[in-house]
Amino acid sequence: MTASAPTIAPTLVSLRDLQDAARAISAVAVRTPLLPADVISDQVGAQVWIKPEMLQRGGAFKFRGAYNFLSRMDPEVRKRGVIAPSSGNHAQAVALAARLFGVPATVVMPTTVTNAKRGGAERLGARVVLAGTTTADRMARAEELVREAGMTLVPPYDHPVIIAGQGTVGLEIAADLPSVDTVLVPVGGGGFSAGVATAIKLSLPNARVVGVEPSGAPKLSRARAAGHPVRLESTSSIADGLMAVEIGRLTFAHHERFLDDVVTVDDSALRGAMRLLLDRMKLVVEPSGAITVAALLEGRVPPRGPTVAVLSGGNIEWSGLRELLD
């Protein structure tokens, strides 16, 4: 009988990694504020703040990780260009980072991509290639293009440099509200939620971090129940940015170490949260971004004290708002 190879635990992002990422992006990224959300506070019975990443360059948190990744590339390798598989926000982030570095970018997007997200990538100078409807479809096509063109693939979430870049959101929350009790963060492939959870726990160990995902795409909920990432047969939600069919291996390891809980939210609640944020706080938020507020309003995460709901992005335009909210 041959002995099986020992399982090697992945190396997790450190506080120094997060701080290095914060320095790398400091001159180019927006340090988004914490906004008091009185209308939500009144409904849930605790003080709630909003972290509005739709105000970030590129319209979402993704710019943080993308720029951090490109900033660490060898300049000669970077000149050959970058490729990004993405449902939308990562594509725009990589396109913007590439433009700032003066290098070409190609983005692989689903055939179902919204006009707002495709148009955003094109306006930022990226070449758009369409491939299938799933994360696996986009990744397979992106890897083909890497082999053909000699460009570098910028991972959407399952990479330590990406996780560290996204985690700078958590560092800002910890610095701006050290009394925070609970932080809610959306869960897609897991880079954002892993980074934010890691930053919060390493800065404020007693704070609680809760991930929120669509009920039609419960990839992290299933993974936690199984004890390892599980590939979903299909996903369905209006939160197109959270539709990964499987949580990343590295991001899952961070969730197991730093995330306290994960909850799911139905699409109907996302529409209500989007409308409230638009009507009462004058914030335009895409469904993926509004999911944390939806979780609060639906009682999925009863707040215990000062609470921050992270809004991950706002890449939706007038036609999309009308379609969803009419």
Task: Render pLDDT for 197-226 as a digit per residue (tens, 0 to 9).
Answer: 999 999 999 999 999 999 999 999 999 999
- Angle ∠(263,16,174) on CA atoms, nearest 5: 50
Are 168 and 21 contacting, i.e. CB atoms less than 8 angstroms apart?
yes
Which of 51, 62, 117, 201 is flagged as catalytic? 62
Between 293 and 156, name the one with better pLDDT: 293
**Among 3.30.1360.30, 3.40.50.1100, 3.30.70.580, 3.40.50.2020, what is the CATH number of 62-153?**
3.40.50.1100
Domains 15-57+159-325 and 62-153 share a fold: yes
Q: Identify whether 71 is a catalytic site residue.
A: no
Per-residue pLDDT tens over the stretch 276-305:
999 999 999 999 999 999 999 999 999 899
pTM, two decimal places: 0.92
Percent of the chain as helix, strand, coil, to the nearest 5: 50, 15, 35
Q: What is the pLDDT of residue 7?
A: 55
Q: What is the mean pLDDT of the chain?
A: 92
Q: Which residues pair with 265 in a beta bridge?
A: 214
Q: Would you mind telling me the total number of residues written for the chain in this entry?
A: 326
Q: Which amino acid is at 255?
A: H
- Residue in 308, 291, 128 with CA at minimum distance from that of residue 203: 308
Query: In the annotation, is 62 catalytic?
Result: yes
Q: Of residues 71, 87, 221, 312, which has the active-site annotation?
A: 312
For residue 5, pLDDT beyond 60 = no
Answer yes or no: are the C-beta atoms of 116 and 317 closer than 8 Å: yes
| Order of strands, sheet of 127-130, starting from the edge strand that comes earlier in the sequence | 127-130, 105-109, 82-85, 152-153
What is the chain's alpha carbon radius of gyration, rounded to the nearest angstrom? 18
DSSP conformation class of 313: B
> What are the residue boundaries of the structural domains of the chain, listed by start?
15-57+159-325, 62-153
User: Which class would CATH give 15-57+159-325?
Assistant: alpha beta
